[in-house]
């Protein structure tokens, strides 16, 4: 009996096909309205945070470097799920209206902070990987620290950081599913709702997995294109 | 024109330059030789403050920096604009095309109009014999060509003095000549130059003065014929024997 049930789930019967078809639109909506915007916004906010943090770290100014270290240490040392709960439920419970976030904004803040910490380490490592001679060549023609950074070091560090940052981005797509726990109507939350009415967990969750996979596959194609473009000057 | 007075520089406990003084008159070429680790690179790097000596002064043209005083970054940058540095391993900017490499100083630092900077860069490129390579990237060039771009990039900020740190020592033997020729042309045009090199023929042909360094001291200095043919110091003799083998 149990075996039969399992099989019926794998078997793309007319019933199952219908269920998949019915659930596709709501899932797609979750992707378009929440998963993708959340990923994009959190990634770009995270990137700004990451660059700032990385520059703080390498600035040689003690207080800035300490701030950066503490931030990275806290974020890396605690689970994202816990960070989400603190930002949304924890801050929301303080009674300060300014800190009462909507689920979407709460998720955005937590995901940005999380991405910012990890990506800052990537960016810092990329900057440090650039040969010291590049700094010296820039300074020898009279450039200031920030001119050297902007014109010479960061463009090269960007090339180095694209593969690991792409990994972070792809990771972030999947991490948005955690936002379901604070009621963001992203794809996985949608999938859970559909399962609650159809009682087809294997089918629906597999479908959700397939959609995540397609998203990530497209992203890895884009990553390849960007890398090839930036490879122009590397032999 | 260029003066270095009583410069001392240490790395930790290691004293690399010990009370070094040199003077170079306008349009003169001075060649620095000496064994590995004797402080030649450090001396050049002190001249454009890529290294900060603990003591002493550097004067270029009418700007003097006294290293025993506190220096602000602007003063250091001003001094750097007077010097062009050519590195042993070129240090070209790999993400910029050849012409962009040369334009970078004029455009970013001197805020010169892009079109005008391009013309200047083009003229320099032609001067170093690479007029047809403006739009390629550094990695598409041979070592000798890269070093010539390095020279053009340093020249582009219109320096009063050019500093060369073993500009040909990373090159295959057959590429050395083209770089030395460019340097010779510069010298003939009256550029003031400080060159660290082991190319004795270049030193004999071009240098007005040769300085032999060892262990952070200037052991001997003089006209190339004197230093090469009639070295006075035992250490100079030994070094010359060693490299002429
Ligand atoms: N940044 C640094 N930190 C510590 N020690 C250094 C540093 N740079 C140079 N040194 C040391 O200072 C000494 C002089 O170095 P320098 O590079 O000036 O010698 P050089 O005459 O240019 O030698 P070479 O012919 O090998 O280039 C060496 O003993 C070197 O190890
Ligand atoms: Mg050296």
Per residue in A117-153, pLDDT tens? 999 999 999 999 999 999 999 999 999 999 999 999 9
Ligand 1 centre from B11 Cα, in Å?
A: 9
Residue for token pair 């990451």: A50
B95:A233 CB<8 A? yes
Handedness of CA B108, B114, B120, B125 (dihedral sign): positive
Q: Is there a domain that residue B115 lies in?
A: no
Q: Is there a domain that residue B113 lies in?
A: no
Give residue B62's pLDDT: 86
**Each residue's pLDDT tens digit, B110-164:** 999 999 999 999 999 999 999 999 999 999 999 999 999 999 999 999 999 999 9
Rounded to an integer, the average pLDDT of A84-93 is 94
**Each residue's pLDDT tens digit, A41-59:** 999 999 999 999 999 999 9
Q: For ligand 1, say whether the CB of B197 is within 6 Å of any of its atoms.
A: no
Q: Is there a domain that residue B145 lies in?
A: no
Q: Which domain holds residue B47?
A: 2-90+160-244
Q: Is there a domain that residue B191 lies in?
A: yes
Task: Give the N- to C-terminal CA distance of chain B in Å, as an integer.
Answer: 36
CA B106 – CA B112 distance, rounded (Å): 6
A23 has pLDDT over 60? yes
> Would you place residue B210 in the very low, low, confident or very high pLDDT band (cuts 50, 70, 90)?
very high
Who's near B115: CB < 8 A, 6+ residues apart? none
Q: What is the ipTM of this complex?
A: 0.93
A203 close to A157: Cβ distance less than 8 angstroms: no
pTM to 2 decimal places: 0.87
Q: Is there a domain that residue B136 lies in?
A: no
Burial group, residue B70, by CB count within 10 angstroms (0-12, 13-18, 19+): exposed
Query: In A, which residues are within 8 Å of B156 by CB distance?
Result: 141
Interchain CB contact of A143 with B (< 8 Å):
yes
At A165, give phi and psi (nearest 5°). Answer: -70, -35
The string of DSSP codes covering A179-196 is GGGGT--SHHHHHHHHHH
**Each residue's pLDDT tens digit, B59-78:** 998 889 999 988 888 899 99
Q: Is there a domain that residue B146 lies in?
A: no
Give residue A11's pLDDT: 63
DSSP-assigned letter for residue A178: G
Domains in chain B, number = 1
> Would you place residue A6 in the very low, low, confident or very high pLDDT band (cuts 50, 70, 90)?
low
A4 has pLDDT over 90? no
Q: Which two tokens stand for residue B184?
A: 């010779």
Q: Is there a domain that residue B95 lies in?
A: no
Q: Is there a domain that residue B114 lies in?
A: no
Give residue A10's pLDDT: 59
> Would you place residue A96 in the very low, low, confident or very high pLDDT band (cuts 50, 70, 90)?
confident
What's the CATH number where B225 sits? 3.40.50.300
Kindly list the protein residues that place their beta carbon closer than 5 angstroms to ligand 2, a single-atom ion: B 41
Q: For ligand 1, say whether the CB of B42 is within 6 Å of any of its atoms.
A: yes
**Each residue's pLDDT tens digit, B14-33:** 999 999 999 999 999 999 99
**Each residue's pLDDT tens digit, A168-218:** 999 999 999 999 999 899 999 999 999 999 999 999 999 999 999 999 999
């Amino acid at each position: 009996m149990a075996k039969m049930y399992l099989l019926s789930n794998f078997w793309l019967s007319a019933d199952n096909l219908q269920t998949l078809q019915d659930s596709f639109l709501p899932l797609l909506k979750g992707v378009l309205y929440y998963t993708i915007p959340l990923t994009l916004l959190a990634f770009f906010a995270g990137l700004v945070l990451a660059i700032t943090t990385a520059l703080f770290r390498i600035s040689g100014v003690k207080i800035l470097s300490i701030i950066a270290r503490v931030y990275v240490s806290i974020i890396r040392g605690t689970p994202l799920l816990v960070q989400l709960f603190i930002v949304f439920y924890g801050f929301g419970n303080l009674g300060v209206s300014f800190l009462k976030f909507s689920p979407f904004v709460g998720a955005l803040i937590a995901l940005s902070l999380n991405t910012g910490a990890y990506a800052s380490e990537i960016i810092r490592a990329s900057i440090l990987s650039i040969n010291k001679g590049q700094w010296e060549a820039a300074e020898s023609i009279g450039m200031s620290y920030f001119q050297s950074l902007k014109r010479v070091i960061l463009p090269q560090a960007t090339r180095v950081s694209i593969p690991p940052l792409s990994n972070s981005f792809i990771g972030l797509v999947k991490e948005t599913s955690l936002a379901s726990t604070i009621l963001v109507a992203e794809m996985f939350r949608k999938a859970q709702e559909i399962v609650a009415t159809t009682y087809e967990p294997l089918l629906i969750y597999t479908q959700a997995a397939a959609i995540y996979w397609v998203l990530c596959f497209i992203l890895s194609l884009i990553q390849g294109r960007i890398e090839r473009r930036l490879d122009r000057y590397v032999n | 024109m260029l003066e270095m007075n009583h410069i001392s520089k240490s790395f930790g406990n290691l004293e690399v330059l010990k009370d070094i003084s040199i003077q170079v008159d306008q349009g003169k070429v001075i060649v620095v030789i000496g064994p590995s680790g004797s402080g030649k690179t450090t001396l050049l790097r002190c001249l454009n403050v890529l290294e900060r000596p603990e003591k002493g002064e550097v004067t270029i043209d009418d700007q003097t920096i006294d290293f025993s005083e506190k220096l602000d970054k602007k003063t250091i940058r001003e001094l750097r604009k007077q010097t062009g540095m050519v590195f042993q391993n070129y240090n070209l900017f790999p993400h910029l095309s050849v012409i962009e490499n040369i334009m970078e100083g004029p455009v970013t630092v001197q805020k010169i109009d892009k079109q005008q900077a391009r013309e200047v860069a083009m003229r320099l490129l032609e001067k170093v014999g690479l007029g047809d390579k403006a739009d390629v990237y550094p990695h598409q060039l041979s070592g000798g060509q890269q070093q010539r771009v390095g020279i053009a990039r340093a020249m582009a900020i219109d320096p009063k003095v050019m500093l060369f740190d073993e500009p040909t020592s990373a090159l295959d033997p057959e590429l050395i000549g083209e770089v030395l020729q460019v340097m010779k042309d510069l010298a003939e045009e009256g550029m003031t130059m400080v060159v660290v090199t082991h190319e004795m023929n270049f030193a004999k042909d071009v240098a007005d003065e040769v300085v032999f360094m060892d262990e952070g001291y200037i052991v001997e200095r003089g006209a190339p014929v004197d230093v090469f043919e009639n070295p006075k110091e035992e250490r100079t003799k030994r070094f010359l024997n060693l490299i002429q083998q």
